[in-house]
Amino acid sequence: MKTVTKKELVHRIADAAGVTRVVAKDIIQAFLNAIIEELAEGNRLEFREFGVFESRDRAARLAQNPRTLEKVPVPKKRIVKFKVGRLMRKRVSGEDIGDLTLDDDQDGAPVARKKPAAPKGGEAQGSA
């Protein structure tokens, strides 16, 4: 298993989108900041086929220190829950999803679509 950093994702996305790494980093950071802000306000974020983020209240409880067996009060707090979407669940579990990918329709709603065909013969597409 390999750990992928935000920096590595920035490089990959910049290359895939044909933009500079600075632009890709700014967009990714703005996206992450928007997610954090929405969750901090108590909003639910749904990315169809990918998953759902929501913040919930965790009730106060009484825990126990395992060394001393002393009872310790734990205050209530807000936590973030993530529920995996169908496409991600299938892809991560290794199920065959065929040639589906996550894409947005004209209204901005994500939908599963067939992946675009890769160029044949290893040649780059574009004008020569």
Cα of 48 vs its chain's centroid, Å:
11
pLDDT value, residue 97: 74
Residue 125 region by backbone torsions, left for phi larger than 0, else alpha for psi between -120 and 50, else beta: beta
pLDDT tens digits for range 78-128: 999 999 999 999 999 998 777 656 555 555 555 555 555 545 554 444 443
Which pTM does this prediction carry? 0.66
Q: Is 72 or 96 the better-scoring residue by pLDDT?
A: 72
CA separation for the pair 28, 36 (Å, rounded): 12
In the three-class reduction of DSSP (H, G, I as helix; E, B as strand; rest coil), residue 113 is classed as: strand
pLDDT tens digits for range 35-63: 999 999 999 999 999 999 999 999 999 99
CA separation for the pair 34, 58 (Å, rounded): 23
C-beta of residue 104 within 8 angstroms of C-beta of residue 111: yes
Tell me the CA end-to-end span of the chain in Å, nearest whole number.
Answer: 40
CA separation for the pair 93, 115 (Å, rounded): 19
